[in-house]
Amino acid sequence: MSHRGRRVAMVVVAVLMLALLASCAPPAAAPAGQGQAPQGQAEKAAPAAKQKVLRVWITWGDNPAQLQSLFNKYGEAHNVRVEVNSPVSEDKVIAALSGNEPPDVLVLGGPDSVGSWAREGLVTPLDDFLSDGKVDINDIFEAPLSQCKYQGTYYCLPWGTDTYALFWNKDLFEEAGLDPEQPPQTMEELAEFAKKLTKVDKDGHITQVGFVPDFSWSHLDLYTAMMGGYWYSDDGTKILFTSDPVVGALKWEQQFYCDYNADEVLRFTSAFGGYMSPDNGFYAGKVAMMVDGEWQPGVNFIQKYKPELYYGVAPFPPPADHPERKDTNLVSGTVALIPSGVKDKATAWDLMAWMMSPEIVAEEMVANFNLPSSKKAAQDPRFHENKKFEVFLKLMADPNAKAPILTPINAEVGTELGQIEEKVLHTCADPMPLLQAGQEKLQPMLDKALSGQ
Amino acid sequence: MTAITGRSTGFKLPNCRRKWSRQTKRRFITGILFISLWIIGFFAFTLYPMVASLYYSFTEYHIKRAPEWIGLVNYVNLFHDPLFWTSLYNTTYMVVFGVSLSLIVSFTCALLLNLKIRGQSIYRVIYFLPSIVPTVASTLLWLWILNPNSGLLNTILSHIGIRGPSWTTDPTWSKPSLILLGLWGVGNTIVIYLASLQDVPVVLMEAAELDGANWWQRLWAVTIPLVSPVTLFNLIMGVIATFQYFAQAYVLSAGVSPVASGLGAPLNSTLFYSVYLYQQGFVYLKMGYASALAWILFLIILVCTLILLRSSERWTYYEGG
């Protein structure tokens, strides 16, 4: 009997057990390279022994160095050091908000969580600060501003913002015998065009698709707005899943899967390459029309991955019987807020007010190819050089521009709607029973959340 | 939560009534000092969080405001929550099929890698390599392999006339896809099996051979019983790890659907227990509910481990035991 062998085995087992234990430690979310302090910070740290430090966390950003250098301007003017951390993951943000040392200013990609954070007292209400005149609230576009309002109080301010429009591939339009300069004028026409733009080979496999309503992610909010409503009542107290606009939007979306073979559409679209890659379904000419945001015509997207793409951008069309809903769009995007745990709120507010000044908004949003939230910034000629980008600027300023309504259960509602949309589109289920069940589940949750103020 | 305690380790606290000699005292203090880092770590990062989460599981707690005691409400709600059952079903599916397949595959691989052939060590390295690839990287890689149209797997299948399924976007195939992905990384289990295969006494094999046992009989009657303690170990570790299955599913659903509500995509077929727990805790900020979920998971794992340990008396063999 080989005792030595067994001992060796035992050691191996012990070591591997440790390794396994380590590997099943608490689940960590996407461990991408977050939280790395950008360069330039270290070298600035040396001078001025007791310089005040302000911390800004940004949940997005593929160019941390640019963000840091932008905030360095504030630092130099006010003799403070601004540390920018970008991109920060949502988990870290939640941990920081509940901790004692939250960042002085937090910049989020969208306002979705602000409602529930406001309810939990994690965010500073801004109404008192807004009265000091450092920020001209009339200079902020109404639609993006309204996304920061929760129960009549502002909890954040929009920095940049996003909206969506229709993109179409002019080459594919020509191939299908359509006028490449003429995008669909109604939602009905869009479906007709999509049919002409869809190609199926002899085996019944799709090789080109006209329009995919949930490409590259859900746009149910836009379609619902076009159908004349939203899934909350205006005051955010009632869930309106079973209202005509929501049902109508889902049914309109469903035809793009279920008038074809839903499995084939899904199989075809799931084979598309990454969003930011030349294999993006739209860039690669596999989808003829898509709904996407103002960043697409910019230097970081189509110009970078498919500069030769021959395409147009137009407002998403209204339904044929409601031409007055022309240019309806849902504006939502980057917002800045002050966590309630910040001790020196006045200084944080001063920094935030600086961020909101038209020059800074213009500079950052030009660099990022996002819509400026400030009306003065929007006058900046740099925003008007790109005609395709201008389409979005006009949409945001349009009286039909709307913002999502904030409630404390936005996340739950978003998940529920996402799952319903998935079932309706990918399995051709009837939307009504699903919406009914979702509403019955979520309305009590909303009532409870609202009453627990 | 994952620790398995062995039988009594023979450690006894010194008898405090008798007066310690100076040397004993010094040794005791030195010993304590040596393990103090562990003790601090254990209390601060394991015991305290566990006790706190037990308390939170009886409260409504959303991080900032003080927890509000609500008794058993979280636990009661949990049993009426259809997604809790969905996540439990999905996880059990992975435990039953994933763990058993990974044991079979890794044992088979270990048998092959144990053959005395030329290049044996090279094969061993090749089979072990995938298990050192970080989970996120290997999952992203597999998303490409499993791509329904242009993926490697379906391309190979199409050459033999099979139109492969939409692995990651079809709810019937998403869990098998993840199991497949897991089988790629069984290198650790293979190594453990390999070590125990080499520990199978040659004398027994020779004796069986002299008795006229063929390869299959030797495998069935000698090898498998003799590695059964290792099978038990691998089984328990596998069950524990799979009940906490998270990273691969998180990456998969992020890859399938780029929106946050995509957790569990497609159609909640990859909504595993830990994923649901994460969603409740860190997406909806329902820390109380998430804590209750965590404690139920702890109990499930505990019961499963105890059942396996108890049943193992019937199917494991210890040499000389």
B33 vs B58: CA distance, rounded Å: 36
Residue of B64, B167, B202, B230 best to disrupt the A interface, most CBs of A under 10 A: B64
SS3 state at A225:
helix
Task: Check: CB of residue A339 under 8 Å from CB of residue B63.
Answer: no
Indicate which of A270, A434, A453 best probes the interface with B, i.e. most B CBs within 10 Å of its own CB: A270
pLDDT at B285: 87
| pTM, full prediction | 0.82
Q: Which chain A residues contact residue B266 at CB under 8 A?
A: 422, 426
Residues of B in contact with A29 (CB under 8 A): 250, 278, 282
SS3 A256: helix
DSSP-derived letter for residue A161 is: E
Q: Looking at the predicted structure, is the pLDDT value of residue A48 above 60?
A: no
**Do A17 and B149 count as a contact with CB atoms less than 8 A apart?**
no
Low-confidence ranges of chain B (pLDDT < 50): 1-10, 258-261
Would you place residue A49 in the very low, low, confident or very high pLDDT band (cuts 50, 70, 90)? Answer: low
Cα B321 to Cα B318: distance, rounded to the nearest angstrom? 5
pLDDT given for residue A411 in this prediction = 87
Of B233, B251, B268, the CB nearest to A419: B268
The identity of residue A429, as a single letter, is A
Cα A270 to Cα A103, B163, B258: the distances in Å are 39, 15, 12
Between helix A345-356 and helix A64-78 the angle, nearest 10°, is: 120
Q: Where along chain B do the CATH 1.10.3720.10 domains lie?
A: 75-315
Determine if residue A40 is left, alpha or beta; phi over 0 gives left, psi from -120 to 50 gives alpha, anything else beta. Answer: left
Question: What does the pLDDT read at residue A39?
Answer: 43
Query: Residue A44: pLDDT above 70?
Result: no
Q: Tens digit of pLDDT for each residue in A215-229?
A: 988 999 999 999 999
**Cβ atoms of residues A286 and A209 within 8 Å:** yes
Task: Tell me if B136 and A31 make a contact (CB, 8 A cut-off).
Answer: yes
Could you say which DSSP state residue A216 is in? S
**Region A359-387: what's the mean pLDDT?**
93
Residue A211 tokens read as 């329009």
Per-residue confidence at A98, pLDDT binned at 50, 70, 90? confident
Using CA coordinates, name the residue in chain A closest to B188.
A16
pLDDT in tens, B300-320: 999 999 999 999 988 888 876
Predicted confidence (pLDDT) per residue in A121-135, tens digit: 899 999 999 999 899
Residue of B nearest to A424 (CA): B267
pLDDT for position B257: 54
Fold of B75-315: MetI-like fold (1.10.3720)
- Ordered structural domains, chain A, with CATH: 50-162+332-402 (3.40.190.10), 164-329+409-451 (3.40.190.10)
Distance from CA of A312 to the nearest CA of B (A): 25
- Provide the mean pLDDT of chain A: 87
* Banded pLDDT at A345 (limits 50, 70, 90): very high
Give the H/E segment covering residue A449: helix A431-451
In this complex, the residue of A6, A23, A412 whose CB is nearest that of residue B284 is A412
Report the pLDDT value the prediction gives residue A89, as an integer from 0 to 100: 85
Please name the residue of chain B whose CA is at the shortest distance from the CA of residue A341.
B64
Model ipTM over 0.95: no
B246: nearest CB among A6, A27, A422? A27
Range with lowest mean pLDDT among A63-72, A426-435, B58-67, B298-307: B58-67
- Tell me if chain A has a CB within 8 Å of the CB of B195: yes
What mean pLDDT comes out for the span A105-119? 91
Contact check, Cβ <8 Å, B64/A121:
yes
Q: Residue B208's beta-bridge partner residues?
A: none
Q: What is the pLDDT of residue A241?
A: 97
Chain A to chain B Cβ contacts (< 8 Å): 132
pLDDT at residue B128, rounded to an integer: 92
